[in-house]
C-alpha cells in the first residue's frame, strides 16, 4: 500500500464529508480504532472528540495503556468509566450473539449521549474489511455479529464514517507504524473479555480471567514468541480437582494461541510443551479458582479464533 497516497485520498474524503462538522471516535485500545481516530483527528483537530469507554471487559491495565497512547498521539480525547453499566447489562445473558448485541447497543447508547453533548454529527469507526465481510455484509453468511457492524440498531441517529473499511489488518498495521502507534499489539475483540467467558459474565469471572490472561501474556513475552493472537477462555463447566486432600470443583480455562495473516483464517500454534507446562502451573498455582488448563488445537476454519 502507498501510505502517502492513501492518506492524501482520505484527507480529501474527510474534508468533503465532514466539512465544518464535528465527529466523535470510539477507540477500543486496538490498532484499528486508534488508526481510524488518528487519520480523522489529524484533519479535524479539536472538531474530533476521541472517546475510550472503559467497559470493565478489558484486560488488566488496558485503560492506563490506552491513555498513554492517546496522549502521545496528540488527540482531543476523554476516558469514560462505564464498567458498572456494562457488567450489569450482561446479568443472566448466556447467548453469545445476545452478548455482542447488548454490548454493541450499550456502546452506541453511550456514544450517542456523548456525541449529542459534543455536537457531533458523525461517529468514526475502525471497521476493517474482515469485520463486515464476516458480518453478512459481503459474500459470506453471517458468522458473528461484530459489535461494530452487526450490533448497530437500525434507527441510529448518528452517521457513520469508516476510513479503514476496505483495508486488511496488515495494511492497518503499516499505517500504525507510520503514526508511531504500537502495531505489534494483538487484535482484541470489541466485546472484550465477554466473548471469552462462556456463559454468564460477572465480576468474579472477569477477575479470574484477567489474572489468567496476564499470566499467559507475560509468558509469551518471556518466551519471545510472536503469535498473531494469544488469550485465555474461561469455560462455564466446572470439573473436579484436588486441593490438599479435598476434592474441589474449579473452573477450566482454554489457552488459544494462533498464527494468522489477517484473521480470516488461522492455524493453532504448535508451541513447546515446556511453555504450556509453565503456563498451566502458574495459572493453577496463582489462581485457586482454576484447576484445569487445556490447549485449543483447532484451526480456523472450522473453528473461529474467538470462542464466542
The interface with ligand XMP within residues 172-231 (CB under 6 A) comprises 187, 189-191, 229
Smallest gap from residue 158 Cβ to ligand XMP (A): 19
- Return the sign of the alpha-carbon dihedral for residues 18, 22, 28, 31: positive
93: Cα within 13 Å, side-chain hemisphere: 21
Contacts of 69 (CB under 8 A, 6+ apart): 29, 34, 181, 182
300 makes contact with ligand XMP (CB under 6 A)? yes
Of 43 and 305, the one with the shorter C-beta distance to ligand XMP is: 305
Of 29 and 250, the one with the shorter C-beta distance to ligand XMP is: 29
41 makes contact with ligand XMP (CB under 6 A)? no
x/- contact string, 109-148, with ligand XMP (CB under 6 A)?
-------------------------x---------x-xxx
**Pairing between β-strand 267-268 and β-strand 246-259 as defined by DSSP bridges:** antiparallel
The CA distance from 58 to 82, in Å, is: 12
The interface with ligand XMP within residues 234-293 (CB under 6 A) comprises 263
Q: Locate cell 459534543: which residue? A: 118
101 makes contact with ligand XMP (CB under 6 A)? no
306 makes contact with ligand XMP (CB under 6 A)? yes
The burial of 224, by beta-carbon neighbours within 10 Å (0-12 exposed, 13-18 middle, 19 or more buried), is given as exposed
What residues make contact with ligand XMP under the rule CB under 6 A? 100, 134, 144, 146-148, 187, 189-191, 229, 263, 300, 304-306
Amino acid at each position: 500500500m502507498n501510505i502517502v497516497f492513501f492518506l492524501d485520498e482520505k484527507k480529501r474524503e474527510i474534508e468533503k464529508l465532514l466539512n465544518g462538522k464535528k465527529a466523535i471516535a470510539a477507540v477500543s485500545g486496538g490498532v484499528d480504532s486508534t488508526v481510524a481516530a488518528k487519520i480523522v483527528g489529524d484533519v479535524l483537530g479539536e472538531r474530533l472528540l476521541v472517546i475510550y469507554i472503559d467497559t470493565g471487559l478489558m484486560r488488566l491495565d488496558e485503560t492506563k495503556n490506552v491513555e498513554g497512547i492517546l496522549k502521545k498521539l496528540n488527540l482531543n480525547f476523554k476516558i469514560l468509566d462505564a464498567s458498572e453499566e456494562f457488567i450489569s447489562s450482561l446479568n443472566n445473558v448466556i447467548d453469545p450473539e445476545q452478548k455482542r448485541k447488548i454490548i454493541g447497543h450499550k456502546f452506541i447508547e453511550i456514544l450517542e449521549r456523548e456525541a449529542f453533548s459534543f455536537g457531533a454529527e458523525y461517529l468514526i469507526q475502525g471497521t476493517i474489511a474482515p469485520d463486515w465481510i464476516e458480518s453478512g455484509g459481503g459474500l459470506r453468511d453471517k458468522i458473528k455479529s461484530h459489535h461494530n457492524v452487526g450490533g448497530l440498531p437500525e434507527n441510529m441517529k448518528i452517521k457513520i464514517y469508516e476510513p479503514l473499511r476496505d483495508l486488511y489488518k496488515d495494511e492497518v498495521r503499516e499505517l500504525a507504524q507510520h503514526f508511531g502507534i504500537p502495531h505489534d499489539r494483538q487484535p482484541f475483540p470489541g466485546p472484550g473479555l465477554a466473548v471469552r467467558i462462556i456463559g454468564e459474565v460477572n465480576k468474579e469471572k472477569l477477575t479470574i480471567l484477567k489474572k489468567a490472561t496476564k499470566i499467559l501474556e507475560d509468558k509469551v513475552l518471556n518466551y519471545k514468541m510472536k503469535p498473531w493472537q494469544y488469550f485465555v477462555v474461561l469455560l462455564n463447566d466446572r470439573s473436579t480437582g484436588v486441593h490438599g486432600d479435598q476434592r474441589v470443583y474449579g473452573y477450566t480455562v482454554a489457552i488459544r494461541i494462533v498464527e494468522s495473516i489477517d484473521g480470516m483464517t488461522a492455524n493453532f500454534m504448535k508451541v513447546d510443551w515446556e511453555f504450556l507446562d509453565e503456563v498451566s502451573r502458574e495459572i493453577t498455582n496463582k489462581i485457586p479458582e482454576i484447576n484445569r488448563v487445556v490447549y485449543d488445537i483447532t484451526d480456523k476454519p472450522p473453528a473461529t479464533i474467538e470462542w464466542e
